[in-house]
Structure 1
Amino acid sequence: MSATTSAQPRQNWTVVIFGFLALSLAFSSRAALGLIMPVWQTEFGWTSSYISSVGAAALLIMAIVAPFAGRLVDRLGSQFTLNLGMGLLGVGCAIVALMNGKLMFVIGFAGFCAIGFGIVATHVVATAVARSFSDNQGLATGIGTSGATGGQFLIVPLIAALLAFASWRWSFGALSLASLALIPCIRMSMRPDMSSNEAEGRKDDPSTMRQDFTSIVRQPAFHLLFWSFLICGFTTTGVVETHLLPFAAFCGFPPIPSATAYGLLSLVNLIGMIAAGWLTDRVNRPMLLAAIYMLRALTFILLGSIPGTSIEMLFLFAVLFGAVDYSTVPVTASFVASHVGIKTMGLAMGLISAGHALGGAMGAFAGGYVFTATQTYTLVWTGSVWLAVGAGVLALFLKAHPITKAAAS
């Protein structure tokens, strides 16, 4: 599909590579919260509700940051934006590694890390890829944004190993060092996704963020994408990313096998995102997006039946859910590129991602609150079934416009 006005196909694979790596570290840092939650409950005496509340606060900060990060990548490009985010993430993980109480935890995770999460996000990478590719844009977006899950296949089990054989402080310390080490690599190796003349032109663009925002929210497709992606956030980032590993511990499963199942989920997620990106270029997109949400609803029915069974059921859920987890991202990004346009795609994706983060915050808080109140996750998984069905229905109302050069202007 064609998303730029360039006469020649553009193939900037360094944007895909470093976008993948940056997302791998950012999302693994987020996943570490759920993995380490039981340890903090024992060491500090914190409740799952409190830790989940801090995680929810981080997601709310992400929601606030996301549109500004999108605007930043629209104006200054992905290289600068990703480096800024990785720096904040590295500092935040270092603070968490050194924390001795609630204040440092809040500052580190819900402060520095949260802002970093909001900047090193799928909407930033998706926007960068859309501007860097005119052919096979869906596939490239699927590969680049799959770092949000695929990179965790190796990183999350390593975090679990450090947790088991050293301590949780080593886990966050390693994440901090890796995040900071990626900055010079991006600086030296990543090709800019816009020329210096284009960057200067965007800085001098007289359109304001308010004007672009008004233009975006007047489009019906934006609202369908926003609300379906908010539900997506609740049913992925909120209840699964934050509560799957605590749920596994509740079921009596050991930490390392549980983390391995989560890593497997991430690997299948990578395949699912790439496959969804490939399909985005080739099939009816509203039907594709609706099918992803409906299949996700079915996986929550399986998840609710796991207590009292074997860990093999957790691995089965990991495979099935992984296939339909973040596979919504390349499809949603494709709709934004075709229905909103490349010029304001960063801001539009930022707003939609803010909805995703808001939904995630609601899911993270609801999961912790429900478990603290009932000592079970049954209501969480049941509610997620119906929410995913609702998102699928919203997707069916989208119009399958062909992606054209005119849409990208």
Structure 2
Amino acid sequence: MLIDVTQTTDLPAATTGAPAPRPRIHRAWFVAVVTFVTIIGAAAFASLPGLLIEPLHKEFDWSRGTIGSAVSVNLALYGLTAPFAAALMDRFGIRKVVAVALTVIAVGSGLTYWMTAAWQLILLWGVLVGLGSGSMALAFAATVTNRWFVAKKGLVTGILTAAGASGQLIFLPFLSWMVEHHTWRPAAITVALAALAVVPFVWLLLRDHPADIGTTPYGSDVFVPKPPPATGAARRAVTVLRDASKTGTFWLLAGTFAICGASTNGLVKTHFIPAAHDHHMPIPAAASLLAVIGVFDIIGTIASGWFTDRFDARRLLAVYYALRGISLLFLPILLAPNVHPPMVFFIVFYGLDWVATVPPTIALCREQFGDDSAIVFGWVLASHQVGAAIVAYLGGLVRDVFGSYDMIWYASGALCAAAALMALVIRRKPDVGAVAMAA
């Protein structure tokens, strides 16, 4: 039974003389909805890099490797900022950190309208948008889930992770149409406006902790006082990394998630559209296929959250990576000028697996590292983005040198097979309660 006596009055029951009516829907679900919508609004920036490669190459004659380096900086900073963002949320609160991050994204994206040199692309899109997006990373979803939910954490993690795919579904077709008909500059301004539009929503509706409104986390009868602000956010992030890095589990999680980032954000999200265009597929058609991945990503991620609540997270990860690797090995022979049934099958299959790895990875972080799990996941996410950054650059370089993306598809398929084996090596943490009972 859930006890929530302040949802309608925000006052302790003792001050009203009787318990307040229990709401039908726990306030934690409203916080989850706000978080979901926030991530959707911020997803516009993640939809644009793959659309920029060909237009920037044509307008400025920059090599694909140069453009890929800006995307690489963006992805690397996205990941390296995440653990510090989780610690900053503990220090200053979720609402303030997310509002500032969205503003930084808007500034970086908006100023690209006037850029004329490659270093400006790296500074604005690579550094500013990378730092802002890193503060909006999956550590945001993990922090909200840890604070507001005791039950159904896997399901909620899956839903919040799927928000990014929902945003991709909303923005990608529209931005691709805009790039095709009105050049890339209006698309960059659209990303900036989308980020700014979410700021008031976050500031007015998001709450940092159940104690802020005098309620309990979902699935718990116990009122949890709001902890005091954690000082030394950067020091804490580094300390958590130092302690976690002494365990083999951390390195296995970081390694598998690096391969996850390499095979999704670094490869498919960045290079699928130009690779399809190499085979004479129109950019809007390729962007629409990438958006359809977002549709099935939502289904796959929410299902993965449900599975994570019920099955061994290690085995789930092994299955996900194995299936992803197999699908990537077939992609080079599926690219063609027109969309055909085998390509549609790949899009559906790959979409179901896109970020299905996130809920079981977060669950393993929570199982192995307890209260520090959000920050540990931030560091694991950093490895995800470093892997993505490396492949975002190498993909463009391979295309410049060999005239084709085929080699990078095959290499990523092999890496996914290695990730599947790594996931199976992770050891389960002993249940302390069970060990005590046995003793």
- In the superposition, the TM-score normalised over structure 1's length comes to 0.91
What's the secondary structure of 1:200's corresponding residue? coil
Partner amino acid for 1:368? G
Q: Partner of 1:182 in structure 2?
A: 198
Name the CA distance, whole Å, in 2 between partners of 1:291 and 1:47. 37
SS at match of 2:48: helix
Instruction: Report the alpha carbon displacement of residue 308 of structure 1 after superposing the two structures with TM.
Output: 4.3
For residues 181-237 of structure 1, the C-alpha deviation after alignment (integer angstroms, 9 at most, x for no partner) is: 1111111011223546624253499x8444333322223321211111011111111
CA contact (8 A) 1:74 1:346 kept: no
**Does the Cα contact within 8 Å between 2:54 and 2:274 map onto a contact in 1?**
yes
Give the letter aligned to residue 293 of structure 1: Y
Q: Quick one: distance in 1 between partners of 2:255 and 2:170?
A: 32
Assess, with a 3 A threshold, how the Cα gap between structure 1 residues 102 and 140 changes in structure 2: closer, same or farther. Answer: same
Letter in 2 for 1:315: V
Cα distance in structure 2, aligned partners of 1:350 and 1:102: 30
Instruction: Give deviations 1:304-337, integer Å, cap 9, x for gaps.
Output: 2123474224433221111111111111111111
Secondary structure of the 2:66 match is helix
Partner of 1:253, secondary structure, is: coil
SS state of the match for residue 12, structure 1? Answer: helix
Which string of whole-angstrom CA distances, capped at 9 and with x for unpartnered residues, describes residues 339-383 of structure 1? 111x22232011101100100011101111111100111110110
1:228 aligned partner: 256
- 1:367 to 2:403 alignment: no
**Residue number in structure 1 paired with 2:239:** 211
**How has the CA–CA distance of structure 1 residues 83 and 199 changed in structure 2, closer, same or farther, with 3 Å as cutoff?**
farther
Displacement of 1:11 in angstroms is 5.8
Q: 2:64 matched to 1:35? A: no
1:123-272 mapped onto 2 (5 Å cutoff):
123-193=139-209, 195=211, 198-203=226-231, 208-272=236-300
Q: Which residue of 1 aligns with 2:7?
A: none
- Give the equivalent residue in structure 2 for 1:316: 345
Q: Is the 8 A contact 1:77 1:199 kept in 2?
A: no
Q: Residues 329 and 413 of structure 2 are in contact (CA less than 8 Å); yes or no, is this contact kept in structure 1?
A: yes
2:97 maps to amino acid: T
Matched, 1:63 2:79: yes
Deviation string, structure 1 residues 129-152 (Cα, Å, up to 9, x no partner):
122111111000100111121221
Q: 2:303 aligns with which of 275, 287, 300?
A: 275
Give 2:354's aligned residue: 325
Q: Measured at CA, do residues 224 and 11 of structure 1 come closer, stay the same or move farther in structure 2, by a change above 3 Å?
A: farther
Q: For residues 345 and 13 of structure 1, what CA distance do their matches in structure 2 show?
A: 22
The answer for unaligned runs of 5 or more in structure 2 is 1-21, 213-224, 435-439
Q: 2:129 aligns with which of 106, 109, 113?
A: 113
Aligned in 2, Cα 1:249/1:81: closer, same or farther, shift over 3 Å?
Answer: same
Q: Bigger radius of gyration, 1 or 2?
A: 2
Give the counterpart letter for 1:154 in structure 2: I
Are 2:83 and 2:139, in contact at CA under 8 Å, matched by a contact in 1? no
Match of residue 412 from structure 2: 384
**When the two structures are aligned, how many residues end up with a matched partner?**
398
Report the CA distance shift for 1:405/1:97 in structure 2 as closer, same or farther (over 3 A): farther
> In structure 2, do the counterparts of structure 1 residues 204 and 34 end up closer, same or farther at CA, with 3 Å as the change threshold?
closer
1:22 and 1:86 in contact (8 A); partners too = no
Q: Counterpart of 2:366 in structure 1: which amino acid? A: A
What secondary structure does 1:354 align onto?
A: helix
| 1:81-110 residue CA offsets vs partner (Å, 9 max, x unmatched) | 221211111111101133233233222101
The answer on whether the counterparts of 1:70 and 1:349 sit within 8 Å (CA) in structure 2 is no
- Secondary structure at 1:198's aligned position in 2? coil
SS in 2 for 1:305: helix
**Greater relative CO (CA pairs within 8 A, separation 6+):** 1
SS at match of 1:340: helix
In the alignment, is residue 357 of structure 1 matched against residue 373 of structure 2? no
Q: Which residue of 1 aligns with 2:4?
A: none
Partner of residue 284, structure 1: 312
Report whether the alignment pairs 1:88 with 2:104. yes
In structure 2, do the counterparts of structure 1 residues 156 and 402 end up closer, same or farther at CA, with 3 Å as the change threshold? farther
Partners of 2:168 and 2:294 within 8 A in 1:
yes
How many angstroms apart in 1 are the aligned matches of 2:86 and 2:433?
21
CA contact (8 A) 2:55 2:183 kept: no
| Match status 1:396 vs 2:412 | no
Aligned-partner residue type, residue 332 of structure 2: G
Bigger mean CA offset, 18-27 vs 236-245: 18-27
1:56–1:210 Cα change, 3 Å: closer
Distance 1:404 1:109 in 2: 47
CA RMSD of aligned residues (A): 2.5
Query: Does the Cα contact within 8 Å between 1:12 and 1:191 map onto a contact in 2?
Result: no
TM-score by structure 2 length?
Answer: 0.85
Q: How many angstroms apart in 2 are the aligned matches of 1:362 and 1:86?
A: 25
Cα 1:201–1:369 change in 2 (3 A) is closer
1:74–1:347 CA contact under 8 A, matched in 2: no
Matched with 1:4 is none
Q: Which amino acid aligns with 2:150?
A: S
